[in-house]
Amino acid sequence: MDSRVALVTGAAGGIGAAVVRALGERGAVVAAVDRDGPRLTELTEKLAADGLRVRAFPADVTDGGRVAAAVDEVERVLGPVEYLVNAAGVLRLGEAHTLTDADWAATFAVNVNGVFHVCRAVVDRMIPRSRGAIVTVTSNAAAVPRTGMAAYGASKAAAAMFTKALALEVARYGIRCNLVAPGSTDTPMLRSMWHDESGPRATVEGRPDAYRVGIPLKRIARPSDIAEAVVFLLSDRAGHITMHDLTVDGGASLGA
């Protein structure tokens, strides 16, 4: 990956930041994209101090015009984008019948529209070059129903199918598109779902009242666990893999 340009959305978040670091450590030049400018600057300055080639490009993925402008700027400043990671995501909890219009719209604006906006802008540039690799970070909730996560699961399922359809369309150009579906991962998003000190234990052991099994490997994933899977699917080692959905959840979805 030495000196190849990678664009990562949701770069200031737990998984996104881990992906940025993992790519930077492998020699990639990383365009870190997030709508949280201060956190993004903090991240990129820290990684730059560690000797990694990372640059901040603040942008809101829900704004198609801003995304197109950001991708233009990335290619002008850093060079052609060869890797794209869609890691931006939001979570709105609530039973399906209690979700507000705002909850639903905000979830799909980032988790689905954001993937569409960024993929469209980047793929338009990848096609003439006949090379590129894309990974969309979804969730095991895209395949396994979770109580209180109807909007999140539906949005991640939509993002997954969009990415697979895109993969089919661009395969003739040598562009690969894959999915990484994390389970419970130690990030601010997961911690926001814990209401007391029993949260981590319930995550690992499961909750029968919520029809949720635990994690067979008996631990919550680290963001780096997800990042390693993303990097593999982007790399030349996965050069004949496309439309694949790699679940990284310690067995929590029982192979579903």
Q: Which residues are marked as active site?
A: 152
Q: What is the 3-state secondary structure (H, E, C) of the chain?
A: CCCCEEEEECCCCHHHHHHHHHHHHCCCEEEEECCCHHHHHHHHHHHHHCCCCEEECCCCCCCHHHHHHHHHHHHHHCCCEEEEEECCCCCCCECHHHCCHHHHHHHHHHHHHHHHHHHHHHHHHHHHHCCEEEEEECCHHHCCCCCCEHHHHHHHHHHHHHHHHHHHHHHHHCEEEEEEEECCECCHHHHCCCCCCCHHHHHHHEEHHHCEECCCCCCCECHHHHHHHHHHHHCHHHCCCCCCEEEECCCCCCCC
Q: Is 240 exposed, middle or buried (0-12, 13-18, 19+ CB in 10 A)?
A: exposed
Residues ≥6 apart with Cβ < 8 Å to 154? none
Q: What is the 3-state secondary structure (H, E, C) of 161-205?
A: HHHHHHHHHHHHHCEEEEEEEECCECCHHHHCCCCCCCHHHHHHH
